[in-house]
Copies of this chain bind each other. A is one copy, B any other.
């Protein structure tokens, strides 16, 4: 929820003149996206999203992100399409920052998740995994397991300020995951941030997926693990197994999970919970005074991690043999 860069009218007009989208009618900063500045730009040709990439996005990754959206849209996956200028380019600069114009995707993200939404996001994840096949670029997950130890080292001294004993809990989990991480699973390109605010619906029908700025190469089942954490817990911390079953059903209907993937899910769910626990902890401890974005609660993910630690196998997720 932020607009970090204010764009002058002259700069905006110069920028928009590179595209064949008509005259600017309005441009409003929108309260979405933690990482970048986003504007809803209306022109004679319709609505667009103008994104200025702020410091947390590595400019070297932008050809991957924008190219992936182009690739997916060409395969009819419902995602924003980068608009290309008259010079063919989708990536240019505005106010000294990398910037791109992307198509506007209609729909609302679900503030209250229903099982139907979980089915929708499961299906969309599988469709994306398949549609991304053939995309030529690759990107390493900047927050994969190899980075967790480093995040822990940067937070361990102050972790107990947030909850007594937190550092020891994280360390034990890191050790457990190191010793038990599954062997190579089917992999390809994953979204890696399929939270409800990145998935739009018309009523219960999925209309599109946005925000590909964490997309990377990774195992498909790890995407499901992220979704289990992001979509299937209630506000009171309870795990909703109906939502989990819908999520997996939605996925399976498009790309059936292999037995190895199913067996690995509880562990991947632990890993994904630890990843968000660590990044939220880091963000909270390094939250700048007067920042526009309030940090998210890391302990939400400690609770989720505890659920996964206590899960006795895929059955806890409504999975496995009936």
Q: Would you call A272 an interface residue if the criterion is a C-beta within 8 Å of the partner chain's C-beta atoms?
A: no
Q: Among A104-112, A177-185, A249-257, A307-315, which stretch is in contact with chain B?
A: A104-112
CA distance A201 to B29 in the complex (A): 16
Decide: A106 near B292, CB < 8 A? Known: A7-B111, A42-B47: no
Q: Do B27 and A30 have beta carbons less than 8 Å apart?
A: no
Q: Name A293's closest neighbour in chain B (CB-CB).
A: B292
Write out the residue numbers on chain B whose beta carbons fall within 8 Å of the beta carbon of A112: 8-10
Write out the residue numbers on chain B whose beta carbons fall within 8 Å of the beta carbon of A111: 6-9
Q: Do A42 and B108 have beta carbons less than 8 Å apart?
A: no
Q: For A1, A2, A201, which residue has the most chain B Cβ atoms within 10 angstroms?
A: A1
- Looking at the complex, which one of B29, B40, B42, B292 makes contact with A292 (CB distance below 8 Å)? B292
Q: Would you call A290 an interface residue if the criterion is a C-beta within 8 Å of the partner chain's C-beta atoms?
A: yes
Write out the residue numbers on chain B whose beta carbons fall within 8 Å of the beta carbon of A40: 28, 30, 40
Q: Would you call A12 an interface residue if the criterion is a C-beta within 8 Å of the partner chain's C-beta atoms?
A: yes
CA distance A8 to B106 in the complex (A): 16
Q: Name A27's closest neighbour in chain B (CB-CB).
A: B108
Q: Name A37's closest neighbour in chain B (CB-CB).
A: B31
Q: Do A31 and B7 have beta carbons less than 8 Å apart?
A: no
Q: Would you call A221 an interface residue if the criterion is a C-beta within 8 Å of the partner chain's C-beta atoms?
A: no
CA distance A9 to B109 in the complex (A): 8
Q: For A10, A25, A290, which residue has the most chain B Cβ atoms within 10 angstroms?
A: A25
Q: For A8, A9, A10, A202, which residue has the most chain B Cβ atoms within 10 angstroms?
A: A9
Write out the residue numbers on chain B whose beta carbons fall within 8 Å of the beta carbon of A25: 106-107, 202
What is the distance, in angstroms, from A15's C-beta to the closest C-beta of chain B? 13
Q: Would you call A3 an interface residue if the criterion is a C-beta within 8 Å of the partner chain's C-beta atoms?
A: yes
Which residues 1-57 in A have Cβ within 8 Å of B in the complex? 1-3, 6-10, 12, 23-32, 40, 42, 47
CA distance A136 to B223 in the complex (A): 60
Write out the residue numbers on chain B whose beta carbons fall within 8 Å of the beta carbon of A7: 111
CA distance A40 to B290 in the complex (A): 26
What is the distance, in angstroms, from A115's C-beta to the closest C-beta of chain B? 15
Q: Name A28's closest neighbour in chain B (CB-CB).
A: B30
- Looking at the complex, which one of B29, B47, B106 makes contact with A32 (CB distance below 8 Å)? B29
Q: Do B1 and A29 have beta carbons less than 8 Å apart?
A: yes
Which residues 216-235 in A have Cβ within 8 Å of B in the complex? none
Which residues 188-225 in A have Cβ within 8 Å of B in the complex? 200-202
Q: Name A287's closest neighbour in chain B (CB-CB).
A: B290
Write out the residue numbers on chain B whose beta carbons fall within 8 Å of the beta carbon of A105: 26
What is the distance, in angstroms, from A43's C-beta to the closest C-beta of chain B? 10
CA distance A7 to B31 in the complex (A): 13
Q: Do B24 and A28 have beta carbons less than 8 Å apart?
A: no
Considering the complex of A and B, which 7 residue pairs feature the smallest CB-CB distances, nearest first? A29-B31, A25-B106, A8-B111, A3-B31, A28-B30, A26-B106, A31-B31
- The chain A residues found within 8 Å of chain B, CB to CB, are 1-3, 6-10, 12, 23-32, 40, 42, 47, 104-108, 110-112, 200-202, 290, 292, 294
